[in-house]
Amino acid sequence: MAAPDLLQTGTIWRLLTAVNGYSRPRGDGLATQAWAGRHLRVLEPPSPGAGGRLRARLLEDGYPCWLEPAALLGAAVAVPAPQPALLSGAAIQQRLPAVLAFAEAARQRANAYLWGGSLGPDYDCSGLVQRAFANAGIWIPRDAYLQERFCQPVAVRPGVLHALLPGDLIFFGTPQRCTHVGLHLGGGRYLHSSGREHGRDGLGIDDLAPHNPHPVARHYRSQLRGAGRVMRCHDGSPLPA
Which region holds residue 40: left if phi is over 0, alpha if psi is between -120 and 50, else beta? beta
Quick one: pLDDT at residue 48? 67
pLDDT computed for residue 5 by the predictor: 56
Whether the per-residue pLDDT at 183 is higher than 60: the answer is yes
Q: Name which residue leads in pLDDT, 237 or 44.
A: 44
197 pLDDT tier (thresholds 50, 70, 90): confident
How high is the pLDDT of residue 51?
Answer: 63
- What's residue 3's pLDDT? 55
**Is residue 123 pLDDT above 80, yes or no?**
yes
* Contact (CB, 8 A) for 98 and 230: no
Instruction: List, for residues 60-91, the tens digit of each pLDDT value.
Output: 999 999 999 988 888 999 999 888 888 999 99
Residue 46 — very low, low, confident or very high, per pLDDT cuts 50/70/90? confident
Distance CA 64, CA 99 (A): 25
Secondary structure of the chain: what % helix, strand, coil (to 5)? 25, 30, 50
CATH superfamily of 4-78: SH3 Domains (2.30.30.40)
Q: Do domains 4-78 and 89-229 have the same CATH topology?
A: no
Q: pLDDT averaged over the chain?
A: 92
How would residue 33 be classed by pLDDT, with cut points 50, 70 and 90?
very high
Q: Which residue has the higher pLDDT, 205 or 241?
A: 205
Instruction: Say which residues have a Cβ less than 8 Å from residue 95's Cβ, sequence separation at least 6.
Output: 87, 136, 137, 138
- Band of pLDDT at residue 55, cut at 50, 70 and 90: very high
Q: What are phi and psi of 192, to 5 degrees?
A: -160, 165
Q: Shortest CA distance to 107 belongs to which of 32, 169, 197, 191?
A: 191
Query: Is residue 184 a contact partner of residue 204, using CB atoms and an 8 Å limit?
Result: no
**Cβ(63)–Cβ(55) under 8 Å?**
no
User: What is the average per-residue pLDDT within 100-111?
Assistant: 98
What sign results for the dihedral spanned by CA atoms 223, 149, 118, 231?
positive
User: Between 117 and 72, whose confidence is greater?
Assistant: 117
What are the sequence ranges of the domains in the chain? 4-78, 89-229
Q: How far apart are CA 182 and CA 189, in angstroms?
A: 9
Q: ω before 121 within 30° of 0 (cis)? A: yes
pLDDT at 26: 87
Cα(205)–Cα(104) distance, integer angstroms = 10
Would you state the CATH architecture of domain 89-229?
Answer: Alpha-Beta Complex (3.90)
H-helix or E-strand containing 171? strand 169-173
- Per the model's pLDDT, the better-predicted residue between 16 and 83 turns out to be 16
| Percent with pLDDT over 90 in the chain | 75
116 or 85, greater pLDDT: 116
Residue 213's identity, in one-letter code, is P
